[in-house]
Structure 1
Amino acid sequence: MPDPERLRALVAERYDVADPQVERLVDDHPVYLLITGEERWVIRVGAGLDRYAAVLSALDRAGFPVPPVLTDRNGRTVTEFRSDTETVQILIIGYVEGRPTPFHPEPLGRLGGALGQLHRDGSAAIQAAAGPPAGLPVVDRAGMLPAGELRFGLSRLAAAGGRGTAAERVVADRLIAACRAGLDFGHGLTSVFLHGDAHPWNSLLAADGSVIMIDWDSSGPGPAVIDLGFLAVSCATGGLTGPLAAPDPARLSAMAAGYRREFTLSDADLDALPFAVAFRVLVAAAVGFGTLLAAGRSPLNEPSIRWSLDRLSAAPRIADDLRRLLTVAKPPQLDR
């Protein structure tokens, strides 16, 4: 990760800002806080940030609230920075005020509503993403759709080459079959502008009580149920990298009610919920299982794999509950 002082010098050289101060925003990601006067910005460092800028531009032109982008003195939204080992991109966006969205029913209901609003108003963003400003790429699909993610999972399982105990090979074969079954997913479903990584930890609770979605790296056109399915399994079981959260049906119920107030799925979408809920958990299980087998380790002894398999087992029930919650009588509107 670039040293904050080198980034500060780059910002001072290339951007029209007064007395920039730069500090790390988080320890484990190349994301930094830029302070200039009373303004605060976020500096993202990495590859593919021109795509991120194109996503933010499309959403902004569609009227969806997203952070502003700070352009350099030449009017570019993305600039390059030479680190010790490589050339990376720099994107500076507005700092979003708020605190992590609490893992409780009411704020999760508002998050469901925010996702529903995005899906409802996404057609304008799809059109805008197809005609980006000069210098930015076309965004014609979301970043983590099933075909590519499932093929990656299959590649990791194939790399294991049949290693493991008899019990582990049984699990691996089940994961392979499930991944293959999902490769053609998406036909005939409602296409919207996805967030692409919709879970509670990619959102913030603002001072006015609204929930704001952040981290648009994987956004773009795709089936609405992909976003909704991942948000559903996250609300029901917690973050994918940790143990299953203590059960509380009110979390999923509130999220589903918030979403349904803003957006209505088709019958085909509802039929696709079982796979949509399982999708991201399936990929996590397949990638982790195959990687560990290839390394000569026992996946069934790893807590992260057990958590993924437990979530995968819970996915059909979560999908059934979600479908029921989405097809009950329409709930009253939230006060705005």
Structure 2
Amino acid sequence: MSTSSAHGCITQVPGLLAGHWTSTQRPTGCSVVIAPQGAVAAVDVRGAAPGTRETDLLAPGHLVDKVHAVMLGGGSAWGLDAASGVVRWLEQQGIGMDVGFGNPLPLVPAAVLFDLPVGDARIRPDADGGFAACAAAGNSLLACGNVGAGAGATVGKLFGSDHAMKGGIGSASVQLQGVTVGALVACNAVGDVLDPHTGQLLAGARTAADTLTLRDTQRALLQGDAPRFALPGANTTIGIIATDAALSRTELQRLTVAGHDGLARCIRPVHTMLDGDTLFALSTGQTSRQPDLITLSAMAAEAVQLAVLCAVRAAQTLRVGDLWLPAASELQA
């Protein structure tokens, strides 16, 4: 585990808080980004097997214009329960939409990834975990790697989970002309992760369960190697893009599209039938400066890319029973 610092953090976007909860019983957890004053939000789902909550709410043209937090979690569909704990915490803080009856109503979209093979699958994020992630939230730099939604994340699984490596969660930010765009990404991809600047594979499918030699999934597929198909949705990269620029939901939607470009630069293959790749975008509107949307989109793609690389580089080797999940740092060593 390390702190997101070399390339910034999503908490550097004014108007946001973020925190993790990590289970002590097995590698799983959840992460939350909170907008106490509310934030305009959008979403773009590119994977074919997503696990999500409240994404229809974010479609352009729908009534509600702001949300109050976004939750990312492990535990597959069971992990969506953690969002209920986020709602409970926000309600206790008086954060939410005024509906005219009772307390303000917190709106919390969420997405989950599949980490059930790593340890006891009966243990997953629940409402108490979501509540704890909120209680731990702040505006300091976030821990990255084997924490929160990335605790049980793995990468490089197209030829079997026993050939995989450790994924994780990472954060980054890009600042330009007084505007900040940040990203928080939990990388649990079926594909490999590479550094797009050097072309070097950082983590991915290994040639055998007891070696550190990488197979290069993309090249193997193009050479005709048959993948070992897992359960659809047993992977998934999920994340949140955020900016302090004042954007409409339609403009934010373009940032999510650009964010997926960032995923495609460093994950291959990406957006597969076995992934549920989902990116949210938030606008706090706390700066009067307004770069053009093309520049903001470039910033979003860069922040997402840097967050994925942070997730993999900060990951730590994990052993659970007979399963060995080496980290990228072992290859570098």
Bigger fraction of residues in helix: 1
Structure 2 length as normaliser, TM-score?
Answer: 0.25
Structure 1 length as normaliser, TM-score?
Answer: 0.24
Bigger fraction of residues in strand: 2
